[in-house]
Amino acid sequence: MGQTVVEFRSVSKWYGQVIGLNNLTLELPPGVTGLLGPNGSGKSTLLQLATGQLRPSQGEVRVLGHRPRGSAGLNRYIGLCPEQDAFFEWMTGREFLRSCALLGGLGRHGAREAADRALERVGMTEHAGRAIRGYSKGMRQRIKLAQAMVHEPIVLFLDEPLNGTDPVARRELIDAIVEWGATGRTVLVSSHVFHEVQAVTRSIVLLNRGRLVAQGDVRQIRDLIDAHPHRIVLKSPRPRELAARLVACDDIVGVDLSREGGTLIVETRLPDRFYSRLVDLALDGGTPVDEVYSDDDNLESVFKYLVTT
Amino acid sequence: MTTPSAPETEFSPTMIPARLPIGLAPSALLTVVRITVARQVRGVRRWVLAGVFALPIAFAILIRQFRPSLEAAPVEDGLILGLIFPALVPLAALLLASGMVQDDVEEQTLTYLLIRPIARWAIYLAKLAGTAIVTWGRAAIFTVATVGAIHWGESGLVGTVLRERAPIYVAMLALATAAYASIFGALSLVLRRALVVGAIYVVVVEGFFGAIDFVIREATVIYYIRVLAVRWLGVAGEEWSIDPDTAVSASTCVIVLLAIAGWFAAIGAAIFAAREFRLKTPEGN
């Protein structure tokens, strides 16, 4: 048995009448683990409990052997990439990362070096001198990931780190996460998109409605999930041209041009093949893709299916 | 120590010390202060406060223009001790301190502070310090500018007024802003409508109770500021029913004002440390 880095023992969290987590027991070893669940399944609550932002209503949380709530010093060893798209907008990317490094307890010189290293890691050195308020969604996600890594934490919690990114940024962020996990650190990546999680790890934890549905190897559930058509939302400045190229692919079973301008909803039975083709589609042939995300309703239906299977 | 079957990873959970850092790194705390100051000098509030604090300067210029025969001393007392201290300083402190934590919650940036190795109570105190610095800095600049506008052209402007009286005003402003920012900072953590309640507090408690000659005025900040004006600036206290022979000493005033600031700062820090800020959870959304 390997060491347990993150441990939840019979943890419940209530928000008044709403249950965030329901009697969750979970142990996470070093390495990358995916935390998969539809919106409202308790992923963010779990991450906020693990980072000490919330205290459990019941049960106990331990990270690196310490209770996160009330142990500020533990945060020296923990990094969090929050889901919310929020920043100190007036800062440049470099200033933001230096500030985060200083907040992380590094000295002035160390913070400068750490910020430059983190910028390099997420491919943002070129844009580091620009104000964050002018960044694209992909750049904001990269900077958000960089701030979580800037103080070189041992445990990294990432809440939907790939949300709303373009295919190229997605690929680069996935590489950065995998690379980070390969150093022996512990990474917990939350997502409501199965194929995002699958791209970074084989070890996954499934949550639904605050409960642990399953934990184990990705292969054990992927067949079940692939049995359902997967709905993916794409945003493109040329949705009709993109739709025309997509319908030619035999794994695509439906393409819906949304009334909302520039949005396409694609149904596929082979999401792996679709995602691997997406970068080529975005880069070649004049059909750029600005944003990709999985349709939430789809995952909800998959989870209902999994829970009742 | 490694074995072939269990290669040692670069990062092991056992690497972290059993006793964690206490979370009071000076560089981290200074960064919280710096971020708070940067936030407080931005946005609409900057212009609102500049407009409000420009009023006494405008009044001083108008009085000099249209009533040049009026003596400077009563004008100074009226504008500085009758307008800036009892009204503008508490309102400025209220405006800034009530948003000190709430702005970070609404803009969802508080997470970036809470997930750092800084004790929560220390985060609050650093934010309070940043807020008090901005409030004090603004008030001090505009107060000195008002004094300058009142005495403009006088021979004693630099010597008596700016070198002797202005530093006393600045010191009194430091005490007043520390007390008010602490009160309103703590208030904003327990009340949703802190701005409204704070404004009522300024009018009723500081404005009304602080002015009546009764023991309750000793529970107001403005009373001690007025006694300091009597003690340090030689202002006649009759208008406020303050008898220099029976009123508390200047050192007592300083101690009481610092105690008020410290007491409410401690309450705010304790509430902040215990509070769960739900930024992205069912209730937070």
Please tell me which of the candidates A147, A154, A183 has its beta carbon nearest to residue B15.
A154
Angle at B129 between CA A89 and CA B136, to 5 degrees: 95
Tokens found for residue B162 = 């700016």
Angle at A110 between CA A104 and CA A115, to 5 degrees: 70
| pLDDT computed for residue A61 by the predictor | 97
pLDDT digits (tens, 9 = 90+) for A207-229: 988 999 888 887 766 666 666 67
Q: Which of B114, B185, B12 is nearest to A2 (CA)?
A: B12
Please tell me which of the candidates B23, B35, B119 has its beta carbon nearest to residue A88.
B35
Which is more confident, B97 or B67? B97
| pLDDT computed for residue B62 by the predictor | 95
pLDDT digits (tens, 9 = 90+) for B110-149: 999 999 999 999 999 999 999 999 999 999 999 999 999 9
Tokens found for residue A173 = 């962020």
Residues A168 and A30 in one domain: yes
Write down the pTM of the prediction: 0.85
Mean pLDDT, chain B, rounded, equals: 90
Q: Which of B80, B91, B97, B88 is nearest to B133 (CA)?
A: B97
Q: Give the C-alpha separation, A93 to A76, whole Å.
A: 21
Residues A87 and A15 in one domain: yes
Predicted confidence band at A297 (pLDDT cuts at 50, 70, 90)? low
CATH classification of the domain holding A251: 3.30.70.100
Question: Is pLDDT of A283 > 90?
Answer: no
Residues A144 and A242 in one domain: no
Q: Give the C-alpha separation, A215 to B105, whole Å.
A: 34
- Helix residue ranges, H only, B67-98: 72-76, 89-97
Domain closes at, from A223, A242, A266 = A223
Q: How many domains, chain A?
A: 2
pLDDT digits (tens, 9 = 90+) for A35-73: 998 888 999 999 999 999 999 999 999 999 999 998 999
| pLDDT computed for residue B8 by the predictor | 43
Tokens found for residue B284 = 């937070």
Q: Which residue has the tokens 């007036």?
A: A90
Residues A158 and A255 in one domain: no
**Structural domain harbouring A87:** 6-223
Residues A130 and A270 in one domain: no
Which is more confident, A292 or A185? A185
Domain closes at, from A223, A253, A270 = A223
Asked whether the beta carbons of residue A73 and residue B27 sit closer than 8 angstroms, the reply is no
**Chain A nearest C-alpha distance from B116 (Å):** 5
In this structure, is residue A1 part of a structural domain? no
DSSP A190-248: EES-HHHHHHH-SEEEEEETTEEEEEEETHHHHHHHHTSPEEEEEE-S-HHHHHHHHHT
Sign (positive/negative) of CA torsion A155, B285, A67, A96? positive
Residues A118 and A240 in one domain: no
Interface-testing mutation among A28, A74, A76, with chain B (most B C-beta atoms within 10 A): A76
Segment A224-240 mean pLDDT:
77
Q: Which residue has the tokens 């500020």?
A: A72
Residues A65 and A206 in one domain: yes
pLDDT above 90 as % of chain B: 75
The length of chain A is 309
Residue A188 carries which side chain, given as an amino acid letter? L
Asked whether the beta carbons of residue A18 and residue B283 sit closer than 8 angstroms, the reply is yes
| pLDDT computed for residue A250 by the predictor | 82
| pLDDT computed for residue A301 by the predictor | 59
pLDDT digits (tens, 9 = 90+) for A120-139: 999 999 999 999 999 998 89
pLDDT digits (tens, 9 = 90+) for B23-54: 889 999 999 999 999 999 998 888 999 999 99
| pLDDT computed for residue B214 by the predictor | 87
Q: Is the Cβ of B3 closer than 8 Å to some Cβ of chain A? A: no
Interface-testing mutation among A17, A18, A41, A53, with chain B (most B C-beta atoms within 10 A): A53
Question: Is pLDDT of A298 > 90?
Answer: no
Domain closes at, from A173, A189, A223 = A223
Residues A219 and A235 in one domain: no
Predicted confidence band at B284 (pLDDT cuts at 50, 70, 90)? very low
Predicted confidence band at B20 (pLDDT cuts at 50, 70, 90)? confident
State the ipTM, two decimals.
Answer: 0.88
Q: Give the C-alpha separation, A196 to A94, whole Å.
A: 28
Mean pLDDT, chain A, rounded, equals: 87
CATH classification of the domain holding A21: 3.40.50.300
Q: Is-contact A184 B10, C-beta < 8 A?
A: yes
Strands A186-191, A31-36: pairing is parallel
| pLDDT computed for residue B7 by the predictor | 40
pLDDT digits (tens, 9 = 90+) for B187-207: 999 998 999 999 999 999 999
